[in-house]
Structure 1
Amino acid sequence: MEKMAQETDDINLTPQELQILSELDSRQFGFLKLNSTEQSKKKALVVRAIKYLERMLVQAQNEKQRRKADSTKGSFDESKNDEEENGISIDPKTYCKLGHFHLLLEDFSKAMSAYQKFYALKGDYWKDASFLYGQGLVYFHFNAFQW
């Protein structure tokens, strides 16, 4: 567990890089060509951001499982909510952002996975236009749509 936390901390993003990443979403698909040589710096930044987010999600999941295992060994106080007790909560927008990053890198299967996780977690997903656009692009890529 310590190693994973250390690896996550090794990826440092400056405030300027975070600003650049915050402005990226599915609406840049087709306009921002991250696989071109002119965009190699931005592509490297997006790849670093993906690694950071994925490590963070894995770390949170491992921590959640560890706490759940510890709680089954300990007391059997059923009055506490699982999420409340574990204190682990991943913002669904994290999955949406991960989907956008994968879409911009044209990794459609990983984008689909991230978008589906967002869809499952976010009850009002239909209010997020960039999610709907990104999800639609991924469906179109896989020819998974009906007229």
Structure 2
Amino acid sequence: MTSIEPVTEINLTPQELQILSELDSRQFGFLKLNTPEQVKKKDLVLKAVKYLEQMLIQEKNEKDMNDNDPDLCSGQIKREKETTIDPKTYCKLGHFHLLLENYAQAMSAYKKFFQLKEDYWKDAHFLYGQGLVYFHFNAFQW
């Protein structure tokens, strides 16, 4: 049985959410989060990454607990729990990691979005971000 660590509450203000909503892969190369001028924005992006990852871990822990619960019906409740995370969450997480130049984490998040979203090809920001990560890793398939 795994122990669940206490989760610290992370709150994002409406102003912070507005700033974060405007960030995606298009800012890569233009928004340099590792410069002294962008310290506040980098801290905000790191806070958002921590928030999203905490949310995903909590969701996974709840799903694992439900999967191991013999009292649950085998079908209906489990299926409802599997689809509670919006695939766009993974895409946004990928964008944040890309802007932080965490390429492996960005690839992981983009890959999860790719797996969950049937019409991923309609999201130009995802395709651009994923392309930038592939470019970073010299992973070209022509």
The verdict on a shared fold, with TM-score over 0.5 as the criterion, is yes
Q: How does 1:1-147 map to 2 (within 5 A)?
A: 1=4, 3-4=6-7, 7=8, 9=9, 11-70=10-69, 73-74=70-71, 77-78=73-74, 80=76, 82-84=78-80, 86=81, 89-147=84-142
In structure 2, runs of 5+ residues without a counterpart are none
SS in 2 for 1:3: coil
- How far apart, CA to CA, are the structure 2 residues paired with 1:132 and 1:118? 11
- How far apart, CA to CA, are the structure 2 residues paired with 1:87 and 1:134? 26
Read off the aligned partner of 2:45 and give its amino acid letter: V
Query: Could you tell me how far 1:80 is from its partner in structure 2?
Result: 2.1
Query: Could you tell me how far 1:15 is from its partner in structure 2?
Result: 0.3
Change over 3 Å in CA distance of 1:78–1:67 after alignment to 2: closer
* Runs of 4+ off more than 3 Å: none
In structure 1, runs of 5+ residues without a counterpart are none
Query: Could you tell me how far 1:68 is from its partner in structure 2?
Result: 1.4
- How far apart, CA to CA, are the structure 1 residues paired with 2:74 and 2:109? 32
**Count of matched residue positions in the alignment of Structure 1 and Structure 2:** 139
Query: Could you tell me how far 1:103 is from its partner in structure 2?
Result: 0.2
Task: Quote the sequence identity (%).
Answer: 68
Read off the aligned partner of 2:101 and give its amino acid letter: E
Query: Could you tell me how far 1:67 is from its partner in structure 2?
Result: 1.2
- How far apart, CA to CA, are the structure 2 residues paired with 1:130 and 1:55? 24
Deviations 1:62-101 (A, max 9, x none): 001111111xx115x44526222x3761100000000000
What TM-score, normalized by structure 1, do the two folds share? 0.89
